[in-house]
Structure 1
Amino acid sequence: MSGRISFQPRPANGFAAQLRPLAERLLDDPARLRRGRRLLLVKGLCFGGLAALAYGGLLSAGPSPAQAALAAVAFGLAALLLAINIGHDGAHGTLVRRRGLNHLLQFLTFVPIGVDAYLWRFRHIASHHVFPNVNGSDIDIDANAFLRLSPNQPWRGRFRFQHLYAPAVYGLVALHSTWVQDYAYLFQRDLANARDIRHPWPRYLEFALGKAIHVALWFGVPALVLPFSVAELLGLYLLGLGVMSVVFVFMLVGTHFSTAALFPVPDAEGRLGHDFAEHALVTSIDWAPASPIAGFLAGGANTHAAHHLFPRVPHVHYRALTPLIAETAGRNGLAYNRRSFPGMVADHFRFLYRMGRPVTAPPSAARPQGG
């Protein structure tokens, strides 16, 4: 089915056609583009500097477990902010004009968090951004043993309590991505909508190099300068990645897994119910999109509709694009989904609760219901 999925034709004067000239006018401003480039540089220096300071604090902790633990958490969080603000844009090719440099910057910013940059880029752009919230074609909602994240996935009795145990699962996401998921994805030939995958051989070397540097950062170098055992270093690693993982998931999980988001089902001919732009809008949730603080920290995660509509635009412009998206959606009778950050998190847990209820009828097209 996934190979035959397609969108509705774009209407000549519909949502996408009305939005594009507004966005082009906004972005056709040299001063705005210069400010955006400066802001990206400031973010890189800020979060990179924080990561370096935190790592220095870890290496200078001496025999103090408390300082080492605090520094490990700070390093994990700073590395996360660097990855989502710089590495994510690099994955989409929006940091600089040179493709190879974008990929190098993504690699360098992803190494501290442990996730392979190439595999993440491959599945994020070739799967999630093509068919968000479509089962079998969006790798981010592939069925898993722990959580039911779509009304179009089969229900199991263990999901009754997923709204209670989900935070524990979220704390393990980074570890699972680094040491289980990446290895599985490296050798799988079919992933969601991608078939007969063949990675270039240099990517295997890149994979090994990234994992080696990650281990050296968290274990090798600290072992040389700190009086801690391997078990204690492992504890610092689990703490740093665990806190980072929870923060990462809570920033992103409600941007698609929400009671307001649609989970479209293709018809018998593989056709989805919207054109691509409308599909991107109705499957996305924004949180605090007007907040400059959220905009600085979240790397565009809070302006998620703009990111899916304009993935080749640097995220520093999403806050300005979002009012245009909301206004154009309203004129076309489309829902623009917006929450506060606490509201987005609370709604995600309502969604988990609904997805954990027994299913009494097959889902139709879309909006999450418990049964």
Structure 2
Amino acid sequence: MRICYFDCFSGISGNMLLGALLDAGLPEALLRAELDKLKLTSWRLEIKPVVKAGLRAVMVKVRAEVEQQRHLADIQTLLEQSELNRVIIRRVLAVFQRLAEAEARVHGTTVEEVHFHEVGAADAIIDIVGAVVGLHHLGINEIVCSPLPMPRGWVRCAHGELPLPAPAVCELLKGIPVQGENLAQELVTPTGAALAVELSRSFGPLPPMFIEQTSYGAGSRERRDRRPNLLRLLIGRRQAVEESQLVEVIETQIDDWNPEFWPHVSARLLAAGALDVSLLPIQMKKGRPGFLLRLLADPAHAIQLKELVLSETSAIGLRFHNMQRMTLPRTVVELETPWGIVRGKKVELPDGSSRIKPEYEDCARLAKKSGGSLQQIHAAALENSNG
């Protein structure tokens, strides 16, 4: 599993991503050969090494001789008539679809009527196709992106002067972690935002991985605060087991809810992706008895689980925060008993030894089916695990 982390400490744009992929080993000759399959005329690609704040990077510029406005259908036709790999075409179209939907919502029109100005020009098409080609060639299976910096100020575009972050960027980044940047300059372009959102599996800190290489793509403008305008890619292999994981802890206190509903609620939470759930008796204000409902969630499932708690209980508010956890490597094994097969969870300990725990649900199922003792079945499975 090859993983790539988009470290957007200075934002992201299409040409910055393409430059970083060239720096990571995407052959220039291969890139040009793939882009020629587009049958797009009147453009040329400039690629050169640069040094920013002492860091070597690659800068890419697309020079288009003729500016052209395009609809989404025009771009789709251009791609469908090309000789590009079908997987690449689908991913490129998905990026442009996101852009079209964002532009339509911002400008109060439909996806079909959206006129792509800056993002429909040849430079954006080359940047997006080139980025998807590069990720495909480098064998990147998974992308994680850092939170994106949001500056202030104004940007000039086809619609005139617009506030930063650009309205289309704000629309694209709904539900995505961002952070304010005290800089009156564009850092995240609509093309960069669309690429990050469409191609990334998740957003957050650097995931557990073995880093194999680091590369940099340079932006075409200098930052006014003199910090390097670079996009960094960290490429490597996922750790087979994530010893350190980021989880979201979600909890609420309730004193006006029927606990008989808990088995139903806990089952729904687990089915919706909760990593763990618990209900603890507590004494609340004014001496009233109540419960603390707590669950652990992968950030990707957190929103759905929060809505589920608010729908299935009497809670009117939730608390949540991120927390690191450590987990041991585990695999599922089959354990033979006189009554049938029981699954077990084999856990590898830090000293290299292991332990196996029979699954309760399997033991209970066999006990009900055979009429045997749950205790006997569990003991037989445990004995088999030791053998």
Normalization by structure 2: what TM-score? 0.23
Question: Which has more radius of gyration?
Answer: 2
Question: Relative to total residues, which structure has the larger helix share, 1 or 2?
Answer: 1
Question: Relative to total residues, which structure has the larger strand share, 1 or 2?
Answer: 2
Q: RCO (CA 8 Å, sep 6+): is it higher in 1 or 2?
A: 1
